[in-house]
């Protein structure tokens, strides 16, 4: 009986040691200094309107030994849109575009990550914006990771994607050159 208990204890200990390490969890440092959600859309085909979403938060999990298991979730306050033009921002918050009173939150939740092996990869996920949820593909590049001056550990990524406004129920006619919004994301996470 004693031998069986020792064998069982040894097997359990071996199983615990052999279990794969969990991916580290990071909280996005979105204090307007180290993470950004930026966008640009053509203005009549002649120039660009460039803006940001100032208020967002999120978290991601990442293990450099198993990057394919990475995941991310981000919540965005669409009322925080800022294009450096007060009247235009008011219009963007209104019913013609983001309709923030009816849809006070936007959200991205990843569903898959395919690393390319050189610090880049393809992130698949679901974007909810203006009450519509659609699949989105983001091309991702790892920027780096390491200790910070305050005793923490950080990891950063950037990504790009484009979305069609009509896919999210926004059909205000801005002309044929302005049907897509190009997004540029820079996210720095603090390991928990």
- pLDDT, tens digit, 9 for 90 and up, residues 43-83: 989 999 999 999 999 999 999 999 999 999 999 999 999 99
How far apart (Å, rounded) are the C-alpha atoms in residues 125 and 80?
A: 22
The reported pTM is 0.86
- What are the Cα distances from residue 24, in Å, to 17, 56, 60, 192? 18, 21, 8, 7
Q: Which fold has domain 22-191?
A: Lipocalin (2.40.128)
What's the pLDDT score for residue 22?
Answer: 76
Q: Please report which confidence band the pLDDT of residue 32 belongs to, taking 50, 70 and 90 as the band edges.
A: low
Query: Which has more pLDDT, 120 or 5?
Result: 120
**Phi, psi for residue 112 in degrees, rounded to 5:** -165, 150
What's the pLDDT score for residue 91?
Answer: 97
- Domain assignments of the chain as residue spans, ordered by start: 22-191
What's the pLDDT score for residue 177?
Answer: 87
- pLDDT, tens digit, 9 for 90 and up, residues 113-163: 999 988 999 999 999 999 999 999 999 999 999 999 999 999 999 999 999
């Amino acid at each position: 009986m004693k031998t069986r208990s020792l064998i069982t204890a040894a097997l359990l200990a071996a199983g615990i040691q052999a279990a794969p390490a969990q991916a580290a969890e990071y909280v996005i440092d979105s204090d307007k200094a180290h993470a950004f959600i930026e966008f640009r859309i053509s203005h009549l085909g002649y120039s660009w309107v460039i803006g940001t979403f100032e208020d967002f938060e999120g978290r991601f999990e990442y293990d450099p030994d198993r990057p394919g298991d990475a995941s991310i979730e981000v919540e965005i306050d669409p009322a925080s849109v800022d294009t450096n033009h007060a009247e235009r921002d008011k219009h963007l918050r209104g019913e013609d575009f983001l309709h923030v009173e009816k849809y006070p939150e936007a959200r991205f939740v990843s569903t898959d990550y395919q690393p390319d092996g050189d610090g880049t990869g393809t992130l698949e996920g679901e974007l909810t914006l203006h009450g519509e949820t659609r699949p989105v593909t983001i091309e991702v590049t790892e920027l780096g990771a390491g200790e910070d001056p305050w005793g923490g550990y950080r990891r950063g990524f950037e990504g790009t994607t484009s979305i069609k406004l009509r896919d999210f129920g926004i059909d205000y006619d801005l002309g044929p050159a302005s049907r897509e919004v190009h997004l540029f994301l820079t996210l720095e996470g603090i390991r928990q």
